[in-house]
Amino acid sequence: MKQELPKQCGKTAHSGLAGPRCAGRGFTLLELMIVVAIVGILAGIAYPSYMDHVRKGNRAKGQAFLMDLAQRQQSYLLVHRRYAPTLLDLGVTVGTEGGAVGADLASLATAYDLTGMVLEVVTEPPPSFNMTLNPQPNSLQESDGSLCLANTGARARYCGGANETPW
pLDDT at 104: 67
Cβ atoms within 10 Å of 137's Cβ, excluding its own: 8
pLDDT at 100: 46
Task: Give the model confidence (pLDDT) of 6-56 as tens digits.
Answer: 555 555 555 555 555 555 678 899 999 999 999 999 999 999 999 999 999
Task: Give the model confidence (pLDDT) of 55-75 as tens digits.
Answer: 999 999 999 999 999 999 999
pLDDT at 117: 86
Q: Tell me how far apart the alpha carbons of residues 113 and 132 are, in angstroms, rounded to a whole number.
A: 10
Q: Are strands 128-133 and 165-166 parallel, antiparallel or unpaired?
A: unpaired
Judging by beta carbons within 10 Å of its beta carbon (0-12, 13-18, 19+), is residue 113 exposed, middle or buried?
middle
pLDDT at 9: 59
Q: Tell me how far apart the alpha carbons of residues 68 and 73 are, in angstroms, rounded to a whole number.
A: 9
pLDDT at 24: 61
In contact, 124 and 56? CB cutoff 8 Å: no
* Phi, psi for 155 (deg, rounded to 5): -125, 135
Task: Give the model confidence (pLDDT) of 97-146 as tens digits.
Answer: 444 445 667 788 889 988 888 888 988 888 899 999 999 999 889 888 89
Band (pLDDT 50/70/90 cuts) for residue 91 is: confident
Q: Is the pTM of this model over 0.85?
A: no
Interacting residues of 123 by C-beta distance below 8 A, sequence separation 6+: 82, 83, 85
Q: Tell me how far apart the alpha carbons of residues 27 and 21 are, in angstroms, rounded to a whole number.
A: 11
**Over the Cα atoms of the chain, what is R_g?**
31
pLDDT at 99: 46
